Amino acid sequence: MQHQSSGYVNAIGTAVPAYSASQERAATFMADLLQFDERDRRRLMALYRYTRIEKRHSVMADYVRPFGEFTFFANTPGLEPFPTVSQRMGLYRQEAVPLALQAIRDCFQSYPDFDPQTITHLITVSCTGLYAPGPDIEIIEALGLPTTTQRLAINFMGCYGAFNGLKAANAIVRSEPDAKVLVVCVELCTIHFQKKTETDYLLSNALFADGSAAVLVEGRPRPEQSFRLRSFYCDLLPDGKSAMAWHVSDFGFEMTLTAEVPNHIQRGIGQLMERLLNQCNLTLDDIGQYALHPGGRRILEVIEEQLGITAEDDRHAYEILRQYGNMSSATVLFVLKEIWKELASGETELDVNRPNILSCAFGPGLTLESMVLEALVAEPELVEQYVTSESSSASGRVL
């Protein structure tokens, strides 16, 4: 059986803004703003602690400054006049590309043998801001790439947007083996802060943060290490359509995130995983690593329950949730980078019988996106042997 061509993730970079606030500080900010009494304040503090998030990052200094020293929000009771969509998009235009460039530089620094000038395609992913000419063109200008570099913008898809970016990159390199595709996710969730007391908004304000990630996808694996994009699977749970939504309002983008989301995922995740694994003739016994999008603590817990895995199996997602919160589409790439670093350092030795990584994320729809990647840790002289191998059964192991 002839080995099928694949795309390979050959480098991953990440970046977060300079301003960070502890979860306790964020809860205090929110309670003070909403003028909660002692009873509601205690409940809010409990909600923030339950998330298992320790700190989150933002492009906005206001989250770490005392009231009276704000530079974006008004220094008035209730922050009135509250920032409009236009003001928030102005901040997005100012901050998104510089943060994305940090992630791109981190990506390139991790792959010193790669020449950035050979990039042929750029895919940008974001659901927290829009403008045109957009971040894609500004990134090409900042990197000095040819004006002929092909561009694709994936917008407003929520936390699963990175999967669509990777699917597009995979399709490109499979049809053009010499293509080199840079996928960049940048999300500034905190600029859409809403001062409302409904549970949906309290939960969103407790979870979301800012971050960016960049991955390089090529048609051949990197000699030292690579993640092969093995299979993708997407499904919809229409019954959960109203449980998660993302709408443009007069005062920013508003997230609907109900407590029913984990329940819908719980009912659909088993079938999703079964179909994904069947596509590549795998079972859960063939999975050695998990890169689950940490949409929230309860979401991770219900996936673990349904798949029969432990919190230790899911440790990378919890670590990213703890350090950074939910950065929408960029988050799952942070999780993948944790696995990449662990394998590269030798801290965890790749299981030759279970080299596969199972990954999934969720978003409005209710959309379930998933993929299987195959970790390759190879001796340089054996990479060519892997690429030209005609035996599909031999692909993807430690070389």
Same domain, 247 and 303: yes
Range 154-168 average pLDDT = 96
Number of domains in the chain: 2
382 has pLDDT over 80: no
378 has pLDDT over 80: no
- Whether 259 maps to a domain, the answer reads yes
- Whether 5 maps to a domain, the answer reads no
398 has pLDDT over 70: no
* Total Cβ atoms within 10 A of residue 24: 13
| pLDDT tens digits, one per residue of 207-260 | 999 999 999 999 999 999 999 999 999 998 888 888 888 888 898 898 878 888
When pLDDT is cut at 50, 70 and 90, the band that residue 37 belongs to is very high
Residue 363's nearest CA partner among 192, 155, 95 is 155
Same domain, 237 and 149: no
Of 203, 218, 233, which residue constitutes the final position of a domain?
218
Mean pLDDT across the chain: 91
Range 188-216 average pLDDT = 93
Same domain, 234 and 314: yes
Same domain, 192 and 238: no
Range 27-35 average pLDDT = 90
- Whether 87 maps to a domain, the answer reads yes
Same domain, 205 and 318: no
When pLDDT is cut at 50, 70 and 90, the band that residue 52 belongs to is very high
Same domain, 47 and 189: yes
- Whether 30 maps to a domain, the answer reads yes
162 has pLDDT over 50: yes
Residue 183's nearest CA partner among 139, 123, 226, 102 is 123
234 is catalytic: no
The percent of residues in the chain predicted with pLDDT above 90, rounded, is 75
Range of the domain at 229: 223-394
Question: 107, 127, 159, 185: which is the annotated catalytic residue?
Answer: 159
Same domain, 97 and 162: yes
Of 218, 238, 256, which residue constitutes the final position of a domain?
218
155 has pLDDT over 50: yes
- Whether 269 maps to a domain, the answer reads yes
127 has pLDDT over 50: yes
Provide the CATH number for the domain around residue 311: 3.40.47.10
395 has pLDDT over 50: no
Same domain, 329 and 362: yes
| pLDDT tens digits, one per residue of 311-354 | 999 999 999 999 999 999 999 999 999 999 999 988 778 888 89
Same domain, 186 and 258: no
| pLDDT tens digits, one per residue of 256-310 | 788 888 888 888 888 889 999 999 899 999 999 999 999 999 999 999 999 999 9
Has this prediction a pTM greater than 0.85? yes
Same domain, 285 and 164: no
Same domain, 280 and 363: yes
388 has pLDDT over 60: no
